[in-house]
């Protein structure tokens, strides 16, 4: 062997010498040709031993020499790029890892863009497109026995994963498409698949292999945030391959297991996102969570509790993965315990963001659906304890969504944990979220259902259900009445039959006193209902008669209970009460406000009082009283948007009139608002001051500053609304003063709803009290409020500044901070409209209650802008 | 149908002046081309009013039931004769020709029930009468005008259908055998073969007593209303077996009377809920709900020209004109309105 070895060395040395000095094309060509003998797959190859020695010892040196010679003149020694072709073939056909390293080395060694750099880059692109990267990785996989040098592997790993960065840095603007990360990583994924294929093949052939290099590449790419590109290629392929083959499954599990710890989280999130359903996940991961602590932590803690941005299907497949294997199921029980504990923690309810609460609730529901009866029974007490705590603190919350979450989870969980007991049933409105949650709670079919729905799917699987449903589909029944005997009967057009209601036996009372009597003493429920329905109209029609019994009537209505199921009872009662208050404001308001702090009322009744007062104040302050349709929505925290729908016929009629009418006038046809005295002005005090006086005196049954914070929030909103409605009244200044004091005492309240109410109250003070009075009469309160707002509510203040600033600079050219103190004359509507749309939306969403309760329909926009001028100035 | 539905119709006109609840209505004369028919109404106070639909006034009043409610009115094919049944247990035959208004004959009813009688014309001057019989579940058949009792139709001992509530005699075109449809207290409708005195078929249509029905002999289909909240449509097949085709749910319970218009296009029901409901007869599609009355509607009647009359406990008779009859398709139902020569002049 010795002489042969030296022969190779001699040849190579000689060749390198020739190549580095010779300028004769023919000699270069023949030298290179002679060296090609040592590459595997050449014609008349050298002995295997020589080839091996060449590859192991001399190849890198030769490649470095070749790169070093690279210049336009050298390549031009022979025509038709023969030299270049031959030159490239060494890189493309020789041992891939060395070629790759040399190429990367020379790329990094280049000082800046140059001919050589471009050539090398192009060669590297060819190298990639020729699939040599697979060869690089394959090489590393095979070296299990030869104890591959860790240093080399480390370098190689860094080069493989860092290739896009390095080339991007070097080539700057001349970068090639192949090196862009969005192209490179999918390619790397493909190459990795090929390498894996080779691994599987050689395992089948009985040769040992190791996938740890591949795992490292995968992990590193994932850490760099390239999960989508890599896994988008790998997962669908692996999904299909692992379906039939145990070997592939084992390789795949091994691949995931060998990923370094720091990359586990990145890899797992990527996998859970891409994999279609728990079955697939289980096939790809195996029992990884049991073997790897880090993986277990990621799956059972991090993805469930902290990373709440993931989608529901992802959550489903994650938990489904835990449920698919009996070894992993204890983890699922443990996860459910943990989830319920978090769910039940009072402080989490108060401080966790809503999205996270939703996410955890969903996870709880999914867990419950996945777990079996026996598993749940084992830890029933523990689960029930956390559940009850959570339900309690959720039902206490003043946010409707949180309450509803509590109700849904409580219903589902109690049905699962306590199947023998009577079912728990809450009344809540169905919406998208609740439907989604309830769907999650339904146990899923045994089949891998998300697989069918997902886009990553094998063609056969996609075809089968489709065909099945076409074949097995039941033909739709023909609509009835489309029989063959068409005769002229069809011309009988039905009349409107909407008036065909159930017959009510008793007649409605005709006098207010009759109503009172019917409501208090009647055992005849039809009469009772008829009285309730008739009351509002009667009170409005006959105010004098209503005034005689107003307080008595208010008392009756306030204490009225829904004894029979009357449709729209709440609305009827509320409207009747509002009508009574409007008819006789002072005494009734006095009565209602005194009852608000009375002993024996439910929270519901107290909140009704607040609603009624607000609606009545709104009614009173409306110019041109008596709306066509009475308000029926309570001024709750979230009135449904777009509930008022203009009747279609009116639009049609108006359109027709406009078409047929010619107007001889200049300017717009817009009519001014009807002017009228604000009737609220004289009675605002009766509404406002009794309410604000006693809030800090707790009763046995009613503690505003304690746990009845929902009512406190309502109270703050109501006071704000009353303040707003008292605009332009003399009492407004006093009211404003009192309200600012009220806000000041409560400004650090822990409930978000209360704080929101306070903000709305502040803004209505700013809106309603004239600016000069504001500054002259209540400077201290104003300063306090200002410091509070500036300190505690940075965000809204900054936001207000931004919005108003944008509006000013955009539309009025008065972007300076020190604007006029008040906007004395409203800018014309034309000026307001273009920028107004978004701004108004923002305003109304932030200071929602005030603006939504705005009684003067479509309040002039300049008022709101005015408000922000004030805030801006004051801050 | 994109357009909004027509607003509910109003009555063409209203007849007031009976001064008591109206319990029976009957259009008299006025087949096509013969001018306006007369309307007869029977009231709770025992009077029969004859209304001119032109002047919209009562032209005559017949008092023959001693202040007891008149439950049934029917004119005989001879035209100038009227049958009235009252709660004084008397069936009176009136001669109305040439302005007369005298009782020419009367006979005693044996039953205290609410069942209305029925007649079937049997050739010149002869007719058959079916009325509730002496036994509570019997129907008596008489040959008129001789008043000879033909037979008594008594249900089998184990059937126990209760009292007959409404009756209708008819005759299939193909055979001369008279048939009787009877609605019973237990909610069933039975078909009797009068000559063989046996029940051909019986079907339970309702769970409450049948209050009224009408039968379309051409289509062999009938509709019945009861105290419950549904109308039942039933049919008669070749083997003379009754079967329920469908039921139609109503908003409010209680149907006092059902009538199919002579042209068989629509039918009207008199409801206890004060409303008259109009349906498409072939499809039973609801067409209109006529709410005018303020008390129970007791009876409805169709004229040959398509007018609809409804009589109610609020002492008013409303006249409606809906879905006018196209002249080519009007073939009157047998037994409803007969060709007569009686017009307003006969009573003038």
Chain B's closest residue to A499, CA to CA, is B289
Contact call for B8 and A497, based on CB within 8 A: yes
Cα–Cα distance measured from residue A342 to residue A350, given in angstroms and rounded to the nearest whole number: 12
Nearest residue to B144 (alpha-carbon basis) of B174, B175, B118, B115: B118
Cα–Cα distance measured from residue B217 to residue B260, given in angstroms and rounded to the nearest whole number: 11
pLDDT value at position A818? 34
Integer angstrom CA distances of residue A17 from A65, A69, A189: 9, 11, 40
Nearest residue to A723 (alpha-carbon basis) of A772, A767, A677: A767
B-chain residues near A488 (CB < 8 A): 326, 329
DSSP one-letter string for B214-267? EEETTTTEEEEEESSSEEEEEEE-TT--EEEEEEEE-SSS-EEEEEE-TTSSEE
pLDDT of A40 strictly over 80: no
Cα–Cα distance measured from residue A327 to residue A322, given in angstroms and rounded to the nearest whole number: 9
Nearest residue to A120 (alpha-carbon basis) of A133, A137, A108, A134: A108
Contact call for A489 and B8, based on CB within 8 A: no
Contact call for B291 and A499, based on CB within 8 A: yes
pLDDT of A816 strictly over 70: no
B-chain residues near A651 (CB < 8 A): none
Contact call for A494 and B286, based on CB within 8 A: yes
Cα–Cα distance measured from residue A714 to residue A753, given in angstroms and rounded to the nearest whole number: 8
Of A21-30, A404-413, A711-720, B295-304, the one with minimum mean pLDDT is: A21-30
pLDDT value at position A453? 39
Residues B271-298, mean pLDDT to the nearest whole number = 92
Kindly report the pTM of this predicted structure: 0.51
Tokens 């969903």 locate to A362
Count of helices and strands (H, E) across chain B: 1, 28
The answer to whether residue B328 neighbours chain A at the CB level (below 8 Å) is no
Residue A733 Cα, gap to closest chain B Cα (Å): 53
The answer to whether residue A483 neighbours chain B at the CB level (below 8 Å) is no
Angle, helices A732-746/A684-693, rounded to nearest 10 degrees: 20
pLDDT of A653 strictly over 90: no
Question: Which residues have CB under 8 Å from A733's CB, separation 6+?
Answer: A769, A773, A777, A778
Token pair listed for A728: 């332009």
Cα–Cα distance measured from residue B28 to residue B345, given in angstroms and rounded to the nearest whole number: 13
Token pair listed for A764: 């209505």
Residues A778-796, mean pLDDT to the nearest whole number = 70
Token pair listed for B103: 């009782």
Chain B's closest residue to A504, CA to CA, is B273
Where residue B334 falls among pLDDT bands split at 50, 70, 90? very low
Q: Is the dihedral of CA B302, B306, B310, B316 positive or negative?
A: negative
Contact call for A497 and B273, based on CB within 8 A: no
B-chain residues near A493 (CB < 8 A): 1, 5-6, 287
ipTM of the prediction greater than 0.90, yes or no: no
Residue B275 Cα, gap to closest chain A Cα (Å): 9
Cα–Cα distance measured from residue A432 to residue A423, given in angstroms and rounded to the nearest whole number: 23
Residue B252 Cα, gap to closest chain A Cα (Å): 6
User: Do A772 and A874 contact (CB within 8 A), yes or no?
Assistant: no
Chain B's closest residue to A492, CA to CA, is B323
Angle, helices A277-285/A227-244, rounded to nearest 10 degrees: 90
User: Do A99 and A92 contact (CB within 8 A), yes or no?
Assistant: yes
The answer to whether residue A828 neighbours chain B at the CB level (below 8 Å) is no
Q: What is the pLDDT of residues A534-570, one digit of tens each?
A: 888 888 888 888 888 889 999 988 888 887 778 888 8
pLDDT of B276 strictly over 90: yes
- Work out how many CB contacts closer than 8 A connect A with B: 57
The answer to whether residue B245 neighbours chain A at the CB level (below 8 Å) is no
A479: which DSSP letter? P
Q: Tell me the average pLDDT of chain A.
A: 75
The answer to whether residue B283 neighbours chain A at the CB level (below 8 Å) is yes
Contact call for A499 and B289, based on CB within 8 A: yes
Q: Where are the alpha helices (DSSP H) in A41-114?
A: 48-53, 59-69, 72-75, 82-93, 96-109
Mutate to test the interface with A, among B8, B261, B281, B325 (most CBs of A within 10 A): B8
Cα–Cα distance measured from residue A273 to residue A227, given in angstroms and rounded to the nearest whole number: 9
A749: which DSSP letter? -
What is the Cα B181 distance to its own chain's centre?
13
Cα–Cα distance measured from residue A408 to residue A424, given in angstroms and rounded to the nearest whole number: 10
Chain B's closest residue to A503, CA to CA, is B273
Nearest residue to A114 (alpha-carbon basis) of A68, A78, A159, A160: A68
Identity of the residue in B7, B9, B280 whose CB atom sits nearest the CB atom of A489: B280
A-chain residues near B269 (CB < 8 A): none
Where residue B204 falls among pLDDT bands split at 50, 70, 90? very high
pLDDT of A16 strictly over 70: yes
User: Do A557 and A531 contact (CB within 8 A), yes or no?
Assistant: no
Peptide linkage before A185 cis (omega within 30 of 0): no
Contact call for A488 and B291, based on CB within 8 A: no
Q: Where are the alpha helices (DSSP H) in A542-637?
A: 543-548, 550-559, 569-583, 585-596, 603-621
Residue A526 Cα, gap to closest chain B Cα (Å): 16
pLDDT value at position A528? 85
Contact call for A496 and B8, based on CB within 8 A: yes
H or E segment at A161?
A: helix A150-171
At residue B62, the 3 state secondary structure works out as strand
User: Do B179 and B193 contact (CB within 8 A), yes or no?
Assistant: yes
Chain A's closest residue to B1, CA to CA, is A493
For residues A398 and A792, the model is more confident at A398
For residues A227 and A817, the model is more confident at A227
At residue A49, the 3 state secondary structure works out as helix
Token pair listed for B32: 């096509």
Cα–Cα distance measured from residue A713 to residue B121, given in angstroms and rounded to the nearest whole number: 83
Contact call for B288 and A503, based on CB within 8 A: no
B-chain residues near A497 (CB < 8 A): 5, 8, 286, 288-289
Cα–Cα distance measured from residue A522 to residue A520, given in angstroms and rounded to the nearest whole number: 6
User: Do A800 and A871 contact (CB within 8 A), yes or no?
Assistant: yes
């Amino acid at each position: 062997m010795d002489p042969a070895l030296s022969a190779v060395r001699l040849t190579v040395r000689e060749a390198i010498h020739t190549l580095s000095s010779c300028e004769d094309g023919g000699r270069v060509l023949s030298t290179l040709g002679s060296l090609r003998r040592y590459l595997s797959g050449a014609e008349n190859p050298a002995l295997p031993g020589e080839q091996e020695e060449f590859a192991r010892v001399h190849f890198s040196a030769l490649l470095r020499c070749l790169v070093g010679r690279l210049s336009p003149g050298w390549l031009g020694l022979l025509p038709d790029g023969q030299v270049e072709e031959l030159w490239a073939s060494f890189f493309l056909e020789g041992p891939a890892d060395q070629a790759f390293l040399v190429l990367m080395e020379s790329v990094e060694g280049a000082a800046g863009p140059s001919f050589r750099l471009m050539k090398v880059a192009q060669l590297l692109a060819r190298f990639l497109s020729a699939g040599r990267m697979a060869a690089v990785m394959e090489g590393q996989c095979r070296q299990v026995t030869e104890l591959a040098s860790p240093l080399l592997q480390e370098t190689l790993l860094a080069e493989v994963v860092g290739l896009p960065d390095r080339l991007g840095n070097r080539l700057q603007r001349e970068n090639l498409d192949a090196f862009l990360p969005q192209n490179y990583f999918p390619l790397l994924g493909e190459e990795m698949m090929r390498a894996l294929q080779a691994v599987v093949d050689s395992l089948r052939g009985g040769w040992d292999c190791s996938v740890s290099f591949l795992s490292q590449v995968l992990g590193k790419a994932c850490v760099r945030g390239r999960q989508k590109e890599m896994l988008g290629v790998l997962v669908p392929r692996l999904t299909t391959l692992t379906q039939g083959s145990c070997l592939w499954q084992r390789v795949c599990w091994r691949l995931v297991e060998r990923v370094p710890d720091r990359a586990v989280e990145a890899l797992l999130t990527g996998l859970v996102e891409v994999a279609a359903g728990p079955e697939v996940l289980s096939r790809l991961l195996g029992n990884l969570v049991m073997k790897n602590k880090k993986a277990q932590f990621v799956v059972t803690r991090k993805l469930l509790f902290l990373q709440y941005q993931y989608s529901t299907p992802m959550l489903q497949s994650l938990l489904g993965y835990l449920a698919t294997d009996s070894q992993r199921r204890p983890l699922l029980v443990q996860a459910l315990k943990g989830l319920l504990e978090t769910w039940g923690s009072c402080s989490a309810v108060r401080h966790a963001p809503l999205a996270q609460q939703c996410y955890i609730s969903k996870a709880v529901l999914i867990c419950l659906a996945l777990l079996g009866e026996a598993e749940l029974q084992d830890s029933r007490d523990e689960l029930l304890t956390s559940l009850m705590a959570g339900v309690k603190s959720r039902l206490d919350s003043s946010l409707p969504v949180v309450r509803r979450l509590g109700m849904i989870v409580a219903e589902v969980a109690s049905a699962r944990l306590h199947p023998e007991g009577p079912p728990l049933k809450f009344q809540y409105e169905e919406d998208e979220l609740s439907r989604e949650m309830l769907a999650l709670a339904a146990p899923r079919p045994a089949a891998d259902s998300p697989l069918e729905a997902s886009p990553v799917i094998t063609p056969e699987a996609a075809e089968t259900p489709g065909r099945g449903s076409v074949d097995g589909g039941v033909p739709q029944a023909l609509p009835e009445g489309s029989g063959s005997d068409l005769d002229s009967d069809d011309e009988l057009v039905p009349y409107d039959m909407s008036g065909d209601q159930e017959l009510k036996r008793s007649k409605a009372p005709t006098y207010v006193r009759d109503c009172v009597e019917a409501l208090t003493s009647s055992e005849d429920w039809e009469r009772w209902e008829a009285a309730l329905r008739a009351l509002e109209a009667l009170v409005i029609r006959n105010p004098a008669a209503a005034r005689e019994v107003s307080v008595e009537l208010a008392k009756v209505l306030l204490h009225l209970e829904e004894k029979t199921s009357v449709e729209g009872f709440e609305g009827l009662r509320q409207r009747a009460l509002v009508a009574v208050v409007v008819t006789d404001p002072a005494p009734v308001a006095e009565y209602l406000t005194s009852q608000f702090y009375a002993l024996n009322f439910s929270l519901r009744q107290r909140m009704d009082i607040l609603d009624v007062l607000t609606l009545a104040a709104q009614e009173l302050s409306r110019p041109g009283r008596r709306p066509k349709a009475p308000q029926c929505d309570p001024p709750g925290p979230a009135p449904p948007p777009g509930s008022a729908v203009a009747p279609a016929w009116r639009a049609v009629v108006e359109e027709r009139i406009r078409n047929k009418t010619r107007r001889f006038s200049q300017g717009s046809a817009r009519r001014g608002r009807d002017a009228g005295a604000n009737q609220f002005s004289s009675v605002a005090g009766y509404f406002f001051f009794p309410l604000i006086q006693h809030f800090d005196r707790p009763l046995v049954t009613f503690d505003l500053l304690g746990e009845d914070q929902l009512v406190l929030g309502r109270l703050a909103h109501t006071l704000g609304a009353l303040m707003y409605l008292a605009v332009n009244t003399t009492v407004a200044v006093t009211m404003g003063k009192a309200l600012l004091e009220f806000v000041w005492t409560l400004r650090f309240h822990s409930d978000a709803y209360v704080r929101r109410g306070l903000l709305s109250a502040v803004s209505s003070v700013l809106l309603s009290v004239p600016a000069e009075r504001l500054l002259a009469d209540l400077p201290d309160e104003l300063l306090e409020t200002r410091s509070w707002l500036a300190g505690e509510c940075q965000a809204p203040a900054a936001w207000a500044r931004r919005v108003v600033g944008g509006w000013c600079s955009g539309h009025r050219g008065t972007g300076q901070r020190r604007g006029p103190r008040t906007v004395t004359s409203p800018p014309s509507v034309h000026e307001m409209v273009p920028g107004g749309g978004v701004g108004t939306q923002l305003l109304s969403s932030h200071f929602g209650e005030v603006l939504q309760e705005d009684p003067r329909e479509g309040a002039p926009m300049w008022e709101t802008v005015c408000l922000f001028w004030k805030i801006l100035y004051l801050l | 149908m994109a357009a909004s539905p027509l607003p509910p119709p109003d009555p063409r006109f209203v007849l007031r002046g009976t001064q008591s609840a109206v319990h029976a209505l009957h259009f008299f004369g006025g087949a096509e081309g013969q001018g306006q028919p007369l309307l007869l109404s029977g009231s709770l106070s025992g009077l029969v009013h004859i209304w001119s639909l032109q002047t919209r006034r009562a032209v005559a009043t017949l008092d023959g039931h001693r202040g007891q409610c008149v439950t049934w009115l029917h004119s005989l094919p001879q035209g100038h004769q009227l049958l009235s049944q009252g709660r004084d247990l008397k069936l009176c035959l009136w001669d109305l020709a040439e302005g007369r208004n005298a009782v020419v004959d009367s006979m005693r009813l044996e039953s205290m029930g609410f069942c209305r009688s029925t007649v079937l014309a049997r050739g010149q001057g002869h007719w058959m009468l079916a009325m509730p019989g002496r036994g509570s579940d019997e129907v008596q058949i008489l040959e008129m005008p001789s008043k000879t009792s033909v037979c008594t139709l008594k249900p089998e001992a184990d059937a126990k259908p209760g009292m007959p509530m409404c009756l209708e005699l008819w005759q299939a075109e193909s055979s001369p055998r008279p048939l009787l449809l009877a609605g019973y207290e237990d909610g069933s409708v039975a078909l009797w073969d009068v000559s063989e005195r046996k029940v051909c078929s019986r079907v339970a249509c309702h769970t409450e007593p049948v209050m009224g029905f009408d039968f379309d002999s051409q289509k062999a289909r009938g509709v019945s209303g009861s105290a419950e909240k549904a109308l039942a449509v039933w049919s008669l097949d070749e083997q003379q077996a009754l079967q329920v085709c469908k039921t139609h749910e109503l908003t409010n319970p209680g149907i006092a009377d059902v009538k199919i218009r002579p042209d068989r296009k629509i039918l009207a029901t008199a409801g206890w809920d004060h409303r008259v409901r109009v349906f498409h007869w072939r499809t039973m599609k609801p067409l209109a709900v006529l709410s005018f009355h303020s008390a129970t509607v007791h009876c409805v009647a169709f004229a040959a020209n398509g007018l609809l009359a409804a009589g109610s406990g609020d002492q008013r008779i409303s006249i409606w004109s809906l879905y006018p009859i196209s002249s080519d398709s009007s073939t009157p139902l047998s037994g409803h309105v007969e060709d007569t020569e009686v017009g307003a002049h006969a009573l003038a």
